[in-house]
């Protein structure tokens, strides 16, 4: 079966750095997405990785290792507005998105 | 403003009733999707459409039907609602194979009582 694993919840302090991990086992791989979802809102696109390595976009970076079936999302200089759920999703061999259950990130002052 | 419009925003529905959730996009995306999101389970695909005139079943299609008469509209119908269909429903679209850059609607919160 196909599986995406993420921690259910994480807590971090404002101004700090947090790393959210995602491991996957899917039938094929055609890319990995990270989305942000604030409570009661729709998911919004953060990043897309298809090749190994680190993609940096402002305070957010995403890393991929295809051989390990592993990705992480790194958030720097955390702000209160970063409190949200972070969803990892993998594009499988049929070009369907397989979603993780999401990681709820709580930022404390 | 380009994007996806879903209606209604929320609905309380009696069990056994028929309900259609509406989804319209103005980005001319070929692919459209319906997901349900339940606490602890993440997003689960109900039905999808890769292009107008075609539809396919996702992970949890039972009790739901869709149609894709044109590029812009992708309604989701619950023929006879049951309480287990209480969920938040998201419509999404993408502009190419692989789902690169999914755009989501704001969601419909459905409660079946």
What is the Cα–Cα distance from B9 to B106, expressed in whole angstroms?
A: 8
Q: With beta carbons under 8 A apart, name residues in chain B contacting A8.
A: 40
Q: Which residues of B touch A (CB under 8 A)?
A: 35, 40-45, 48, 58, 90, 97-107
Asked if A25 contacts A69 with a C-beta cutoff of 8 angstroms, the reply is yes
Model pLDDT for residues A69-108, shown as the tens digit of each residue: 999 999 999 999 999 999 999 998 887 888 999 999 999 9
CB contact under 8 A, A91 and B101: no
Token couple for B108: 């419909």
Q: CA of B6: how far to CAs of B1, B26, B58, in Å?
A: 14, 12, 20
Residue A12 in tokens:
């971090």
Q: Do A30 and B101 touch (CB under 8 A)?
A: no
CB burial readout B83-92, b (16+ within 10 A) else e: eebbbbbbbb
Closest-CA residue of A relative to B109 is A40
pLDDT tens-place string over residues A2-36: 899 999 999 999 999 999 999 999 989 999 999 99
Q: Phi, psi at residue B65, to the nearest 5°?
A: -140, 155
CA distances from A95 to A5, B12, B21 (A): 19, 34, 25
Q: Do A61 and A73 meet the contact criterion of CB atoms below 8 Å apart?
A: yes
Predicted confidence at residue A94, as pLDDT, reads 80
| Mean local confidence (pLDDT), B64-88 | 97
In Å, how far is A101's CA from the nearest CA of chain B? 4
């Amino acid at each position: 079966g196909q599986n995406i694993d993420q921690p259910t919840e994480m807590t971090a302090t404002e101004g700090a750095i947090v790393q959210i991990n995602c491991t996957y086992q899917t039938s094929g791989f055609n890319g990995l997405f990270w989305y942000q979802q604030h409570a009661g809102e729709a998911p919004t696109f953060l990043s897309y990785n298809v090749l190994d390595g680190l993609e940096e976009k402002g305070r957010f970076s995403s890393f991929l290792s295809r051989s390990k079936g592993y990705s992480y999302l790194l958030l720097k200089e955390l702000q209160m507005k970063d409190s949200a759920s972070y969803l990892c999703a993998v594009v499988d061999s049929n070009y369907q998105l397989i979603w993780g259950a999401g990681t709820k990130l709580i930022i404390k002052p | 403003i380009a994007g996806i419009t879903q209606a209604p925003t929320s609905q309380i529905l009696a069990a056994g009733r028929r309900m259609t959730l509406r989804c319209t996009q103005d980005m001319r995306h070929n692919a459209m999707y319906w997901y349900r999101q339940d606490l602890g389970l993440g997003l689960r695909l109900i039905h999808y459409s890769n292009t107008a005139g075609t539809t396919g079943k996702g992970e949890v299609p039972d009790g739901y039907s869709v149609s894709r008469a044109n590029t812009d509209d992708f309604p989701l119908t619950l023929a006879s609602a049951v309480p287990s269909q209480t969920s938040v429903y998201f419509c999404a679209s993408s502009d190419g194979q692989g789902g690169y850059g999914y755009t989501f609607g704001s969601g419909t919160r459905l409660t079946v009582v």
